[in-house]
A and B are shown apart, each in its own frame.
Chain A
Amino acid sequence: MATAEEVAKAAERRDVRDRWLLSAPALLVIFLAATGPLLIVLVYSFLTPGSYGDVKWQFSPEAWISVFLERDIFDDTLSIAAAHVTIFLRSIKLSVVTTIATLVLGFPTAYFMATRSEKTRDLWLFLITIPFWTNLLIRTFAVLQIIRNEGIINTILLKLGIISAPIQILYTDTAILIGMAYVYLPLMVLPIYASMEKLDFRLVEAGYDLYASRFQVLRRIIFPLVKPGVIAGSILVFIPALGAYVTPSVLGGGKNMMLSNLIELQFGQGRNWPLGSALSIAVMIIVMVALLAYVRNAGRSGVRHG
């Protein structure tokens, strides 16, 4: 008969093996239909575009060069690709502004929710959860109907005689910004609320007891304690905003492209799959940098509160 120690070791080995078997289907599906293909994108970004889309199996750094640079068709000289740079900068700018806007609106909202009584808190959480799970396209469409020239904002302003001609909001960067702030607001509120709910308000009492003003309590006590939620919310807004496709497509029109529209173009009319691939990888890199910053920050605040 085996000794207890042998039995224990065998059980442990079997446990780890079973755990691998159990997770195998999920890992396999994710590898085949999510992670794995990303590697092919990386490969494609170093190939030559085919004449009718797809690629020729021939190495070429051209796609990566043309992410930021433009080759003159006559003398082959390289210059900054103004169009691409503009789109990169616009995407980053719009994503950052969206993040800040949702933070400015979302933080007080989360605070409001967290300071309700236990019973009503669930109701508020429910109210913020509904838009969160409502189709993003429908919500964008709802914004479209509000801000377009014939939408209710312009109609009301015209009827009141405040303006004589409709304000053109649709198909501008402002429209994209409004749309993204609108659709991503719940993504900011929920994680902040999650940290805020755990906040021990006796600490706030202690702050007031030690002569802090309301603003000092907010800045020196509440904010540092819910910072992990703020960082998580910012990441949750920034990443999808940077890769946003639906909102700029619907509210930005053809001219005000964001990165995702530029990428789509390369796989459609542009017929430059390698460039599209290179741009995708570039988006990934920006996202990874943001995530790394998050992980480092989260790690640090974790230690501080640990």
Chain B
Amino acid sequence: MPDKPDRNAIEVVNVSKIFGSGEGQVAALDTVSVSIRENEFFTLLGPSGCGKTTLLRLIAGFDFPTAGEILLYGQDIAPLPPFKRPVNTVFQSYALFPHMTVADNIGFGLEMLGKPKAEIKARVAEMLKLVKMEALAGRRTSQISGGQQQRVALARALAPQPKVLLLDEPLSALDYKLRKEMQIELKRLQHETGITFIFVTHDQEEALTMSDRIAVMSSGKILQVGSPWDIYDKPAERFVADFIGETNFLTAAISEMANGKARATLKSGATIEATVAQSFQPKPNATVVVRPEHAKLTKAKGELSGTVENIVYFGTDTHIHVHLDSGELFTVRQQNTRSAGCGFEKGDAVGILIGSDAAQVLKD
């Protein structure tokens, strides 16, 4: 996907954050660089402790980086305290002020900026309308539901019209249905306000459905940045492939690279075509990944062969675990139909067909 000529809202340049000192030193972020474009919905995705929240806090100004720069439209904001940054945050716990009403919460930022009362009032009304909370403006924040608190937190952070909105796992406290609703709501708000969103989550599904681009993080580093499609279908590293969705890992020898394609010789001796990065150096012991839904099970011969070990029914689809003759395990996901059964039984000798565009070579 070619880069759009958009401006960068945030540029994180070689940022490190080290907590503690001496023996107990922990690098929460290790020379991280990333650019976030204007008006995009950007997600920092990773397991807990990967540094995603630390990076968000550095952008918000709650912590200062140990090294590196954080540029907001070209200006280094890393040394500024949070109240001098045109950046607002939606907190994981919402952090609504319990002694103020919904409207007072939403107007707080504008009040602190010294805006005239009339302007604050108009803007608060506008925000209440935006998040559909007009009816509850006078309520205390303790008197409204979790989903409503979430909306107020959003309205409060959007009211001062920040250049960038930071969202720290804002949906994690909501139940499943409400979370789905809010995902759509967030996309709508981002679209309507045109503000750059930086969203932190550990939920891969949330990241894939909402984001324009995703940065996958692990152990204080950004492993891969790309569109949801890039991240899912062209994982560059084992961690990314493993963290997002389910994947089969196969050992293969790579040869004949050309035009982003290569020939991968599997342990079984069969060869398949796989997508590969330009910079990849051909080697005999590489890892190739195949998503379970991109392979097909057959009773005839396939690229791989093995025995059905287990069949797990998931409603929409069925996972069939196959013990390959090479000793590896392989899962195939098969869409269910209303006709009974998946057509295979435990112990069946099966073949696995891997299409020409199904495999991806990892760079490690």
Contacts and interface: CB of A to CB of B under 8 A. Distances in A.
Contact of A5 (B64, B70, B81): B64
A30 B64 CA distance: 37
Main SS at interface, chain B: loop
A235 to B, nearest CB: 33
B190 to A, nearest CB: 28
Interface string A1-16: 1111111100100000
Contacts of B64: 4-5, 7-8, 11
Nearest to A1: B79
Contacts of A7: 64, 78-79
Contacts of A8: 63-64
B66 interface: yes
> Interface SS of chain A: helix, strand, loop or mixed?
helix
B65 interface: yes
Interface in A119-137: none
Interface in B66-110: 66-70, 76, 78-79, 81
A227 B254 CA distance: 66
Contacts of B70: 4
Interface in A1-59: 1-8, 11
A3 to B, nearest CB: 6
A100 to B, nearest CB: 45
Contacts of A1: 76, 79
A8 B65 CA distance: 8
Nearest to A7: B79
Contacts of B68: 4
B66 A5 contact: yes
B67 A5 contact: yes
B65 to A, nearest CB: 5
A191 to B, nearest CB: 30
Contacts of A4: 64-65, 68-70, 76, 78-79
Question: Which has the most chain A C-beta neighbours within 10 Å: B64, B70, B76?
Answer: B64
A249 to B, nearest CB: 48
Contacts of A6: 79
A5 B65 contact: yes
A8 B61 CA distance: 10
Interface centre among B65, B66, B78, B79 (most CB of A within 10 A): B79
Contacts of B63: 8
B363 to A, nearest CB: 32
A8 B7 CA distance: 29
Nearest to A2: B79
Nearest to B64: A8
Interface in A239-292: none
Contacts of B65: 4-5
A68 B78 CA distance: 68
Interface in B41-76: 63-70, 76
A239 B79 CA distance: 52
Contacts of A5: 64-67
Shortest 4 CB-CB distances between A and B: which pairs?
A8-B64, A4-B78, A7-B79, A4-B64
8 contacts: A2-B79, A4-B68, A4-B70, A4-B76, A5-B66, A6-B79, A8-B63, A11-B81
Given A3-B78, A4-B65, A8-B63, 13 more contacts: A1-B76, A1-B79, A2-B79, A4-B64, A4-B70, A4-B78, A5-B65, A5-B67, A6-B79, A7-B64, A7-B79, A11-B64, A11-B81
